[in-house]
Structure 1
Amino acid sequence: MIRARAAVLAAALAVGAAAMTGCSPSGTAAKPQPADSATASSPVNYVPGTAQENNAPAGTGDFADGPANSPAAMKWVQLSAGAAGVLNPVVHNAAGFTLYRFDKDTTKPSKSNCNDACATTWPPVLVQPGSRIFLDGVSRADIGVVKRDDGALQITIGGWPVYRFSKDTAPGQANGQGVGGTWFAVTPEGGKAGQSPQGTDTNTQLDYQNGTAKQHDAPPNTGDMYNGPRNSPEAMKWVQLTAGSAGGLSPIVHDGAGFTLYRFDKDTTKPSKSNCNDACATTWPPILVQPGSRIFVDGVPTSEIGIVDRADGTRQVTIGGWPVYRFSKDTAAGQTNGEGVGGTWFAVSPHGGKVLRPTEGTGATSSAAPSAGASASASSPASAASSPASAPAGTPSAAAPSSPAASPVALGNGVVTLDSGLNFTEPDASENIAGPGCKNTGRGDLALSLDLSGGPVKIWTGRDCTGTSAVVTSSIPDLSKIGFDKKIASIRFGD
């Protein structure tokens, strides 16, 4: 499953499935560049956060009057995850207009087949060299650009060129959904958006609603906005789970008050269990609900949300099986002071993965044992080949059968982009793969560089997570530095 430069095999990227998506052209270099600096391999600037947070000029970008191809309109685009009516998650722009994909386009190679009159009804989302793309609840690994027949640059999500619909006349509308059986709102990973279950769930006894608490007129000083203990009845009336960005991280999940939500590596997902109690739960207040509580889902898949009973009998919200928390030292919306605390607390992604900051260095650490959360499955044999005894110091060591707890690094989820060029230049092809569990690559002889969103992950030279391995904690512009150039046959994500 390989795509040409700036294109990708069509697939809706779901947790637990490997899928081709638009490569992050600029990548996250081993020594990260400023988030808003373009590179030779990226004609545009990728910036975490919203246009407003980054002081985009008024009357430009998504708020510009006039055609989509005007210089003012192409100065910037914001891609935000959210909900639109019965659809969740979808991607919308800064003005709240839903973005769409077209089944008659292609992703291998990525190409728009909507031109002339079609492009009047469905205006393509355009940028120009030097434009800024603001990412709010959307991963940079899924975003790219493709040249249209008229030479303009169009944004892609998961390899799919994206558009607005001329008959959406107000924010939040999704009148283009299903038009002609070929047009669909696009998800943050490039898939077709679908209806999200709403109403009372008989298993959890919770009321799920698409959108935000404000859109549903939630009573003031209740739920996430309540100024008091999180276990009070007023605080547990409702919880909002919104995919967004904070502190340079995207995508993360925040609540209705804008506070970042976190996960704890010492908790478990199989079964879901919180191990943060007593004093820990004072520092990290759990997100609690009770029967009859409402959960507003805004860019977070309802299928990822669950409930777990805590030791004190209260019920805590989970995302991707991970119990979620606030951090008491986040004193204002948008802060991420809990990120990386103790090496065990991390912002949580909309699919339950840990969200990591870019780190210095090669982004890889060698490991001789499976990481915590990477237990063997039917498709990942316990045995593994050994590295040559003469391997130089610093090269990744062979994986040997061992208890998952033997590794100091807990694997996470996210997206790995395997790039056929050095420094994420993608001359021939690239491949995106997402967790959880062990995933085989489409071609073991492809990658010269690796872009990581989320993680950590473990790369292997053999299929089904066998052979020589290394734990990767950030993007690697040159895999030969760790001896893995054109040798990645499989990748182990967290469970």
Structure 2
Amino acid sequence: MHHSFKQFSAVILGLTLFLGSCSKGEHSPEPEVPVNTKTALKISAGVGFGNILTDQRGFALYFFAPDANGTSTCTGSCESVWPVFYAEDATLPANINIADITTITRADGKKQTAFKGWPLYYYASDTKSGEVKGDGVGGSWFVAKSDYSIMLAKTQLVGANGKNYTADTKEGNGISDYLTDAAGRTLYAFTPDTYNVNTYTRADLSNNATWPIFESEIINLPSLINKDLVMQITAVGKKQLTFKGHPLYYFGPDAKRGETKGVSVPAPGVWPILNLSSPVNP
């Protein structure tokens, strides 16, 4: 009898501990702490550059103009100077739209974080927080910012007819510099426009879908673009940016970033791209 009581007590004690542990697990779960296995993305102060995108240490990140179509083109020896930035499970600043952060897989199989479709890189010569030594290098590298109004791209121009063009509106192979919006969509000028005057868009906007007005505020510009070259005008009630006096437009059939179909429509030279070498609109 005494032996049975001891066994019974042991069972009761075990059941009590078991139920207690279940109760603790149900009502007081351990909080799940997200593990940042790589590095965080944040906005920091870059010396002389205002607010820039950095990793969690404050090291500057960069965009590469030839990456306009969203594909990383910096490989091999280029990558040794401009290392890839990859933020797995990145912690984002409150004022950044999570939809602007994506991950791409490079041709070499590595993953890379992109912002508004621009793959992000470090610059090997930046040795401490706040340094921005890589901005403007080769006319192709720009410190990453969350609020550029326009960007500079460098790719082969390909018209809607499938032919290759150069910046002088002629058929041919060659990398051309041209303006895009912050997300890499090509911007065009309309040759008949006069200085800061949109002569294309109808008052009823019936043709705006074909060549949409580029509506934007002037916020931040790449360092190679003098702020005096960019203005905002009002055209048919819309705020349109101009560059060197040329009102800026999209081409509706450019369905994705990096496409330049408009350079051949309706004929080369009618809707040219613009770059730092473009003349001021008379």
Q: Does 1:372 align with 2:155?
A: yes
Match of 1:438 among 177, 187, 206: 187
User: What pairs up with 1:51-130 in 2 under 5 angstroms?
Assistant: none
SS of the equivalent of 2:177 reads coil
Distance change (3 Å), C-alpha of 1:332 and 1:377: farther
Quick one: distance in 2 between partners of 1:256 and 1:462? Answer: 36
Give me the TM-score of the superposition, normalised by structure 2.
0.50
User: What pairs up with 1:300-315 in 2 under 5 angstroms?
Assistant: 300-315=96-111
Quick one: distance in 2 between partners of 1:329 and 1:349? Answer: 19
User: What pairs up with 1:82-481 in 2 under 5 angstroms?
Assistant: 234=37, 236=38, 238-242=39-43, 244-250=44-50, 252-269=52-69, 272-290=70-88, 293-350=89-146, 372=155, 375-376=158-159, 399-402=168-171, 406-413=174-181, 436-438=185-187, 444-445=193-194, 447=196, 453-454=221-222, 467=270, 471-473=274-276
Cα pair 1:411 1:458 within 8 Å, conserved: no
Distance change (3 Å), C-alpha of 1:355 and 1:245: farther
Cα pair 1:347 1:354 within 8 Å, conserved: no
Cα pair 2:196 2:245 within 8 Å, conserved: no
CA RMSD after TM alignment: 4.7
Cα offset, 1:289, TM superposition: 3.8
For residues 302-344 of structure 1, give each alpha carbon's deviation from its aligned partner in whole angstroms, at most 9, with x where no partner exists. Answer: 2221111124433110112121011111111111101122332
For residues 126-178 of structure 1, give each alpha carbon's deviation from its aligned partner in whole angstroms, at most 9, with x where no partner exists. Answer: xxxxxxxxxxxxxxxxxxxxxxxxxxxxxxxxxxxxxxxxxxxxxxxxxxxxx
Cα offset, 1:469, TM superposition: 5.2
Distance change (3 Å), C-alpha of 1:469 and 1:279: closer
Distance change (3 Å), C-alpha of 1:279 and 1:459: same
Residue 409 of structure 1 aligns to which amino acid in structure 2? Answer: D
Cα pair 1:239 1:289 within 8 Å, conserved: yes
Sequence identity percentage? 21
Cα offset, 1:267, TM superposition: 3.2
Residue 196 of structure 2 aligns to which amino acid in structure 1? Answer: A
Unaligned runs of 5+ in 1: 1-216, 224-233, 357-369, 385-397, 415-433, 486-495
Cα offset, 1:347, TM superposition: 1.1
Quick one: distance in 2 between partners of 1:246 and 1:282? Answer: 22
SS of the equivalent of 1:294 reads coil
Cα pair 1:283 1:327 within 8 Å, conserved: yes
Quick one: distance in 1 between partners of 2:97 and 2:45? Answer: 16
Residue 484 of structure 1 aligns to which amino acid in structure 2? Answer: N
Cα pair 1:320 1:353 within 8 Å, conserved: no
Cα offset, 1:218, TM superposition: 8.1
Residue 413 of structure 1 aligns to which amino acid in structure 2? Answer: D
Cα offset, 1:247, TM superposition: 3.6
Report which of the two has the higher share of helix.
2
Q: How many residues align?
A: 193
Cα pair 1:348 1:355 within 8 Å, conserved: no
Quick one: distance in 1 between partners of 2:156 and 2:245? Answer: 15
Cα pair 1:265 1:345 within 8 Å, conserved: yes
Aligned to 1:153: none
Give me the TM-score of the superposition, normalised by structure 1.
0.31
SS of the equivalent of 2:121 reads coil
Cα pair 1:461 1:468 within 8 Å, conserved: no
Aligned to 1:229: none
Quick one: distance in 2 between partners of 1:348 and 1:310? Answer: 19
Quick one: distance in 2 between partners of 1:399 and 1:346? Answer: 24
Quick one: distance in 2 between partners of 1:377 and 1:249? Answer: 38
Aligned to 1:484: 281
Cα pair 2:179 2:273 within 8 Å, conserved: no
SS of the equivalent of 1:467 reads coil
Quick one: distance in 2 between partners of 1:462 and 1:316? Answer: 31
Unaligned runs of 5+ in 2: 1-32, 198-217, 226-242, 252-261, 263-268
Cα pair 2:41 2:56 within 8 Å, conserved: yes
Distance change (3 Å), C-alpha of 1:318 and 1:377: farther
For residues 466-495 of structure 1, give each alpha carbon's deviation from its aligned partner in whole angstroms, at most 9, with x where no partner exists. Answer: 538574439xxxx9xx4514xxxxxxxxxx
Quick one: distance in 1 between partners of 2:184 and 2:79? Answer: 29
SS of the equivalent of 1:372 reads strand
Cα pair 2:189 2:273 within 8 Å, conserved: no
Quick one: distance in 2 between partners of 1:252 and 1:240? Answer: 10
Residue 54 of structure 2 aligns to which amino acid in structure 1? Answer: H
Cα pair 2:126 2:133 within 8 Å, conserved: yes
